[in-house]
Amino acid sequence: MVSAVAVPCCQVLLIVCHAWVGLTAVVSNIIAVSVSSVPSYLLNRSWVWGKGGRSHLWREVVPFWAMALMGLGLSTLLVSFAARWSHLTLVVLAANLAGFGLLWVVKYVVLDRVLFTSREAPGPLE
């Protein structure tokens, strides 16, 4: 469900920035990824891992944003290469999706197993 919200949000922002506003592909990608990372964090935290209340800065926020920056870096690199090949917005969108697709599995495992895992000790019957 998070991807069903975050990916279209990112893609729409990329289209608006690149095709309508006329920003470069790289600048458009940076804006789109940065803005769409906010709902992605909030939705991952609440929907996927069921966390509520305040976020823990070092256990949740910093690692999530570090991974978001990795995604931003990879997608921006691919968008930059794609923009050299073609200035079509569709090509830029595909490069952005490819960058995040490559990191999706790794990011999910880290979020599920490390970041949003329960820190409670198992009970005697578990």
Q: What is the pLDDT of residues 18-28, one digit of tens each?
A: 999 999 999 99
Among the listed ranges 22-26, 50-54, 119-123, which one has the minimum average pLDDT value? 119-123
* Spatial distance between the Cα atoms of 75 and 97, rounded to a whole number of angstroms: 8
Please determine, for residue 15, whether its predicted confidence score (pLDDT) is greater than 60.
Answer: yes
Mean pLDDT taken over the chain: 85
Tally of structural domains, the chain: 1
DSSP 121: P
Is 121 among the domain residues?
Answer: no
Average pLDDT over every residue of 52-60: 86
How many Å apart are CA 48 and CA 78, to the nearest integer? 28
Domain assignment present for residue 126? The answer is: no
Read off the pLDDT of residues 62-86 as tens digits, 9 standing for 90 and up.
888 888 888 899 899 999 999 998 9
pLDDT of residue 101: 82
Q: Is residue 123 part of a domain?
A: no
DSSP codes joined into one string, 63-95: HHHHHHHHHHHHHHHHHHHHHHH---HHHHHHH
- Angstrom distances, CA of residue 106 to CA of 20, 32, 71, 86: 33, 21, 11, 29
Per-residue pLDDT for 17 more than 90?
yes
Q: How confident is the model at residue 125 (pLDDT cuts 50, 70, 90)?
A: low
| Domain-located, residue 125 | no
Does the residue 34 lie in any domain?
A: yes
What Rg value do the Cα atoms of the chain yield, rounded?
Answer: 16
> Which of 20 and 103 is assigned the larger pLDDT?
20
Domain that holds residue 62: 2-115
Go through the chain and tell me how many residues it has.
Answer: 126
Neighbours of 113 (CB within 10 A): 9
Residue 120 in any domain: the answer is: no
Residue 69 covered by a domain? yes
CB 96 within 8 A of CB 18: no
The answer to whether residues 115 and 58 touch, using CB atoms and an 8 Å cutoff, is: no
